[in-house]
Amino acid sequence: MIVAEAKPIKEILEMIEGFNKILVVGCKGCVTVCNVGGAKEVAILASAIRIAEKKKGKEVEVGEITLERQCDPEYIEELKDIIQDYEAVVSLACGVGPQFISERYPEARVFPAVNTKFMGGAVEHGVWAERCAGCGQCVIHYFGGMCPIARCSKSLMNGPCGGSNHGKCEVSPEIDCIWDKIVRKMMAQGRLDELLKIRPPKSWLTARDGGPRKMVREELAK
Amino acid sequence: MQEFKPKIVAFYCSNCASSAAEISNKLGLFLPENIKLINVPCTGRIEILHLLKAFENGADMVYVVGCQEDSCQYINGILKLKKRVAHVKNMLEQMGIEPQRLEVFSLYAGKGQDFVNIANEMLNRAKQLGPIY
């Protein structure tokens, strides 16, 4: 899933300074799962905005709504009867959500309440780690089911590098050397010889480096 | 000029804090009238939103009384609550509100006097800080 992190409340309050009618929009997708943008977090942010503005002597109207997802137009459409009642919209979805709202409702002033971080999963309760960099050409099957593009600091296709240090990356002792893990796993599976095959340099054309991407499914598109 | 009468919300758990409250009653000790008590099964049940809603609805002070960290009957309810309180204190500061308006206390089940002392401490603090709005 997409993992995001809440922006500091101070930053959000500065963004909405001067607006008196604010709509806080959550998303029941990824940001609910990582406890950043679901219905509960919408209520928390709305309450925090009311308290902060009341402290300044202002009464603001803060609406709350949580959409099924903010990355599908049919759910963004659900805002059509209410969005004109508000001066500002604060979206707690990943980067897609506020942009979809902005595109559908071009007059709306839309603000992001979270910072989208990476594609990953929960490794323990309350901790999410990056697993996928969206490179567009998945090759984890060459590397024991692990991705060196997302999990190697240098995205090496033929690792490890000389900076691998007792299973940790030279960039930070908190980062596992994924190549250490890959080699050990391939050894355990009796497939170490497969790592002797030199992988060619990655083509980044399919990644973000090749420009903004689009995926079309001809059998589904009109 | 009207004397400021702070509005204080106090969450307390059904275990250690509740026992302490009962003992304080038996000792003939009473809480100041400004305190609105809210009983919860365990302080771990208290969410960030509960704390914020109390302030949103006009509470000048909010505090929580629960078990000691090694005697919470739900194992780590009080520990979870303490992390949430730290989070809300951080939020309050960013919102321009004194983080001292929110506090959490751990006490033993038999500490009836402490249950009342905490309430009086919060009342005095509220008077010093003044109304929240």
**Mean pLDDT over residues A57-66, rounded?**
96
* CA pseudo-torsion sign A204, A208, A213, A217: positive
Q: Is residue A93 part of a domain?
A: yes
Distance CA B123, CA B105 (A): 14
Closest CB to A8 among B47, B52, B94: B94
**Same domain flag for A106 and A14:** yes
Q: Is residue A218 part of a domain?
A: no
Average pLDDT, chain B: 95
**Mean pLDDT over residues B10-30, rounded?**
94
Q: Is residue A122 part of a domain?
A: no
Evaluate if residue A196 carries a pLDDT over 90. Answer: yes
**Same domain flag for A88 and A169:** no
Evaluate if residue B54 carries a pLDDT over 90. Answer: yes
- B133 interaction partners in chain A (CB closer than 8 Å): 54-55, 57
Question: Do residue B56 and residue A54 have CB atoms under 8 angstroms apart?
Answer: yes
Contact A157, A199 (CB under 8 A): yes
**Mean pLDDT over residues A38-59, rounded?**
97
Residue-wise pLDDT tens digits, A91-124: 999 999 999 999 999 999 999 999 999 999 999 9
Question: Do residue A51 and residue B95 have CB atoms under 8 angstroms apart?
Answer: yes
Q: Is residue A15 part of a domain?
A: yes
Question: Do residue B94 and residue A56 have CB atoms under 8 angstroms apart?
Answer: no
Distance CA A42, CA A40 (A): 5
Higher pLDDT: A222 or B13? It is B13
**Same domain flag for A92 and A188:** no
Evaluate if residue B65 carries a pLDDT over 70. Answer: yes
Token output for B23: 């003992």
- Single out the residue in A52, A82, A117 at which a domain terminates: A117
In chain B, where are the structural domains located?
14-123
CA angle A64, A119, A187 (to 5 degrees): 155
Residue-wise pLDDT tens digits, B66-76: 999 999 989 99
Nearest CA in chain B to A55: B133
- Residues β-bridged to residue A65: A25
- Residues β-bridged to residue A124: A127
Contact A85, A105 (CB under 8 A): no
CA angle B57, B61, B63 (to 5 degrees): 110
Task: Mutate one of B52, B57, B87, B101 to test the A interface: name it (highest A CB count within 10 A).
Answer: B52
Question: Do residue B47 and residue A56 have CB atoms under 8 angstroms apart?
Answer: no
How many domains is chain A built from? 2
- The CATH number of whichever domain residue A76 belongs to comes to 3.40.50.2300
Q: Cα distance from B19 to chain A (closest Cα, Å)?
A: 32
Upper half-sphere CA count for residue B69 (Cβ side, 13 Å) = 6
Distance CA A83, CA A22 (A): 9
Task: Mutate one of A12, A51, A61, A125 to test the B interface: name it (highest B CB count within 10 A).
Answer: A51
Question: Do residue A10 and residue B94 have CB atoms under 8 angstroms apart?
Answer: yes
pLDDT attached to residue B34 = 87
**Same domain flag for A13 and A107:** yes
Q: Is residue A128 part of a domain?
A: no
Evaluate if residue A59 carries a pLDDT over 70. Answer: yes
Q: Cα distance from A72 to chain B (closest Cα, Å)?
A: 29
Residue-wise pLDDT tens digits, A68-92: 999 999 999 999 999 999 999 999 9
CA angle A70, A75, A81 (to 5 degrees): 115
pLDDT attached to residue B5 = 93
Residue with tokens 């001067």: A18
Q: Is residue A217 part of a domain?
A: no
Contact B95, A51 (CB under 8 A): yes
Closest CB to A55 among B48, B53, B97: B97
Query: What domain range includes position A205?
Result: 133-210
**Same domain flag for A107 and A7:** yes
**Mean pLDDT over residues A198-203, rounded?**
94
Q: Is residue A161 part of a domain?
A: yes
Upper half-sphere CA count for residue A55 (Cβ side, 13 Å) = 20
Distance CA A139, CA A170 (A): 24
Distance CA B98, CA A179 (A): 48
**Same domain flag for A140 and A97:** no
pLDDT band at B1 (very low <50, low <70, confident <90, very high): low
Q: What is the ipTM metric for this complex?
A: 0.94
Question: Do residue A13 and residue B95 have CB atoms under 8 angstroms apart?
Answer: yes
Strands A127-132 and A114-124: antiparallel
**Same domain flag for A100 and A148:** no
pLDDT attached to residue A99 = 98
Q: Is residue A68 part of a domain?
A: yes
Token output for B56: 């949103």
**Same domain flag for A17 and A91:** yes
